[in-house]
Amino acid sequence: MAAASLTSISLHSSASSALGLASKQCQHNNHTCCWLTERSVRSSSTRQRLSSRGLKIRSAATKQVKSPAEEDWKTKREVLLQNKVRSVDVKEALRLQKENKFVILDVRPEAEFKEAHPPGAINVQIYRLIKEWTAWDIARRAAFAFFGIFAGTEENPEFIQSVESQLDKKAKIIVACAAGGTMRPTQNLPEGQQSRSLIAAYLLVLNGYTNVFHLEGGLYAWFKEGLPAVEEEEEEE
């Protein structure tokens, strides 16, 4: 995670190539994100030159407040445990789906969902491709591209709204993503490891959902076990 002294840069011109910026990659919310970090902005004279080029420099203290999905994993894990969010393996998930009317909520990107998913699963992606084309979004795309990642993602602001349009607050839900993550402590991971599905489960309980389970091992384990899966045919143009 970036140190508190990290300086963020808001771009207000397309002349980003003139900057001495370094891209720094970090792992956040179980998906790759990139920060643009300051390398050459050291002296007040340098800051003045950047300001004259239409650039604003603000300290980390003025950064935007974290969204719920960006909360520390320790905080999210405590809330999940307090709300009795239980992890189930893939065979138990299949049984619950068949016998107890549980719905599998697949929070992977839409393209991955269409490739293969459990029968009857509902797809609401928790992260989506960056859609906007503001100067900041262009800079974020460039930062991803620096590492060869051309499909940069951002938090889906319509996640809860989309879930609510399909599932009521008392629905029995098993949240699934590719890897799954875990709340179980291990020697190397004393607080487990977060994932997209655990972040989604956290958002659901914050918004009043009371029957939320989590798919341990993720859909990777589902497909590996050879459990039922369907794929959606591509629409012909």
Cβ–Cβ < 8 Å for 182, 216: yes
With cut-offs at 50, 70 and 90, classify the pLDDT of residue 96.
very high
pTM metric for this prediction:
0.66
Distance CA 65, CA 71 (A): 10
- Non-local CB neighbours of 50 within 8 Å, separated by 6+ positions: 19, 41, 57
pLDDT in tens, 41-71: 344 444 454 444 444 434 334 455 678 888 8
pLDDT at 118: 97
Across 11-170, where does the E strand assignment appear? 21-28, 31-38, 56-58, 86-88, 103-106, 122-123, 127-129, 153-155
Cβ–Cβ < 8 Å for 218, 177: yes
Q: Is 177 tagged catalytic? A: yes
Identify the active-site residue in 26, 33, 34, 177.
177
pLDDT at 128: 78
Mean pLDDT value across residues 158-177: 96
Cβ–Cβ < 8 Å for 93, 102: yes
Mean pLDDT value across residues 79-92: 96
**Burial degree of 25 (CB within 10 A; 0-12, 13-18, 19+):** middle
With cut-offs at 50, 70 and 90, classify the pLDDT of residue 132.
low
Beta-carbon count within 10 A of 197 CB: 29
Domains, the chain, ordered by start: 90-225 (3.40.250.10)
Distance CA 68, CA 163 (A): 16
pLDDT at 234: 56
| The dihedral formed by the CA atoms of 16, 18, 19 and 22, expressed in degrees to the nearest 10 | 80
Mean pLDDT score across all residues of the chain: 74
